[in-house]
Copies of this chain bind each other. A is one copy, B any other.
Amino acid sequence: MNDLLLRALRAEPVERPPVWFMRQAGRYLPEYHEVRAKVDFLGLCRTPELAAEVTLQPLRRFPFDASIVFNDILVPPAAMGLDLAFLKGHGPKFNDPIRGVDDLGRLKAPSIERDMPHVLETIRLLVAQLEVPLFGFAGAPFTLAAYMIEGGGTRHFTRTKSFFLHHPVAFQRLLDLLTDVVADYMVAQIEAGCAAVQLFDTWAGALDPEDFRRFALAPAARVLERVKGVPRLYFARDAGPYLRWLPETGADALALDWRVPLDQARAALGDLPVMGNLDPEVLYGPEDIVRARVRGVIRAAGPRGHVFNLGHGLLPTTPIASVAAAVDEVRAWSWAREG
């Protein structure tokens, strides 16, 4: 088993950073489209053999040091009773979003084994075959709550913010419910065999400082408190201004988006391992630029406690050759040579 990821997450000395990419499975690969031709997105998530297959696809092309189970962060809210649909070209949509306090009564506390067994089965299938650590993941309570209230992707968070400004107690109840579900879900993924887990707080960066600490960081910390035994990562997009507060999550490592200079992150975070943070859109550039930017990220992060990744998920139109070049450049790095 390749243990480079786990050593880097313990801040042990490594020759080069481990490398994997958020959304490394998915639409930029033609073999992914072949699978999707036979099944819709949610059907894919819910069919363990197919979800395992698309999880493995990028590993056949690129020597990544970690894998992440193919799944969607909105599976738990769907298991809580919301009607989730993925519309072609429009992303996820809840047909019956939470619009008022009374809607909270519609939500049920799901059982992971009963309502989301497919995720655990996918993990078991993968663990039997993988030679690299497998990440489990979940959406963080705030981001899930915001999706459930907005009903789908949005530029503004007017509904979510109106909800918590007018009904802070009910919003906290929703976060508490989600905290339980997400913690149970992560624990179950670890029991099924995941070697690390990541909590995605994609939308937390829309919050102002007060709301960020109260509604994003605090519930994330309560989730991670209950998740033990493997490294636990936290990723909040657009949260660069809140860098100094992120350790309050209690995460074992922080994933940072591409706007956070990693040398400054080091200064703010001390020994806490970091993951990131190449701008995914740099992969649209020529190969020499891709390789130079990869080296820049590694150099800024320094030799200890760094997992190389993108600063956000791979985009569907990313050139495959750029992914290959970036992975190759990370693997060619040598701290012995640089030092």
* A residues apposed to B, CB below 8 Å: 156-158, 161-162, 165-166, 205, 207-212, 238, 240-243, 258-261, 264, 279, 281-282, 284-286, 289, 293, 296, 311, 315, 317
Contacts and interface: CB of A to CB of B under 8 A. Distances in A.
Contacts of A279: 161, 207-208, 211
Contacts of A166: 285-286
Contacts of A258: 208
A158 B241 contact: no
A259 B161 contact: no
A169 to B, nearest CB: 13
A156 B315 contact: yes
Nearest to A208: B279
Nearest to A280: B156
Contact of A161 (B207, B264, B284): B284
Contacts of A311: 208
A47 to B, nearest CB: 29
A156 B283 CA distance: 13
Contact of A158 (B157, B210, B281): B281
A86 B72 CA distance: 36
A26 B205 CA distance: 27
A240 B209 CA distance: 12
22 contacts: A157-B281, A158-B317, A161-B279, A161-B282, A161-B285, A165-B282, A165-B284, A165-B285, A165-B286, A166-B285, A166-B286, A207-B259, A207-B279, A208-B259, A208-B282, A209-B259, A210-B293, A212-B259, A238-B238, A238-B259, A241-B259, A241-B264
**7 closest Cβ pairs, A-B complex:** A165-B285, A240-B241, A208-B279, A161-B281, A162-B284, A241-B259, A209-B261
A41 to B, nearest CB: 19
A236 B317 CA distance: 28
Nearest to A243: B241
A152 to B, nearest CB: 13
Contacts of A157: 281
A12 to B, nearest CB: 28
A48 B279 CA distance: 43
Contacts of A161: 279, 281-282, 284-285
Nearest to A265: B241
Given A208-B259, A261-B209, A311-B208, A162 B285 contact: yes
A201 to B, nearest CB: 14
Contacts of A211: 279
Contacts of A296: 210
A22 to B, nearest CB: 15
A284 B158 contact: yes
Contacts of A162: 281, 284-285
Contacts of A315: 156, 158
- The interface centre, meaning the residue of A211, A260, A261, A296 with most chain B CB atoms within 10 A of its CB, is A261
A157 B241 CA distance: 21
Given A161-B284, A161-B285, A165-B289, 19 more contacts: A156-B315, A157-B281, A158-B281, A162-B285, A165-B282, A165-B285, A165-B286, A166-B286, A207-B259, A208-B279, A208-B293, A208-B311, A209-B259, A210-B293, A210-B296, A238-B259, A240-B240, A241-B243, A242-B259
